[in-house]
Amino acid sequence: EPEVTQTPSHQVTQMGQEVILRCVPISNHLYFYWYRQILGQKVEFLVSFYNNEISEKSEIFDDQFSVERPDGSNFTLKIRSTKLEDSAMYFCASSHGTSGATGELFFGEGSRLTVL
Amino acid sequence: AQSVTQLGSHVSVSEGALVLLRCNYSSSVPPYLFWYVQYPNQGLQLLLKYTTGATLVKGINGFEAEFKKSETSFHLTKPSAHMSDAAEYFCAVSDDSGYALNFGKGTSLLVTP
pLDDT tens digit sequence for A54-111: 988 999 999 999 999 988 789 999 999 999 999 999 999 998 876 555 667 889 999 9
pLDDT digits (tens, 9 = 90+) for B37-87: 999 878 889 999 998 888 999 999 999 999 999 999 999 999 999 999 999
The count of other CB atoms within 10 Å of the CB of residue A4 is 22
Q: Looking at beta carbons, which residues of chain B come within 8 Å of A103?
A: 32, 34, 46, 49, 51, 92, 94, 101
Q: Which of A31, A50, A99 sits opposite B94 (nearest CB)?
A: A99
CA distance readout (Å), A98 to A21, A69, B19, B91: 23, 18, 30, 18
> Cβ–Cβ of A99/B51 closer than 8 Å?
no
> Cβ–Cβ of B46/A103 closer than 8 Å?
yes
State how far the Cα of B54 lies from the Cα of B1, in Å rounded to an integer: 24
Contact present, B76 and B68 (Cβ < 8 Å): no
With CA atoms as reference, the chain A residue closest to B105 would be: A42
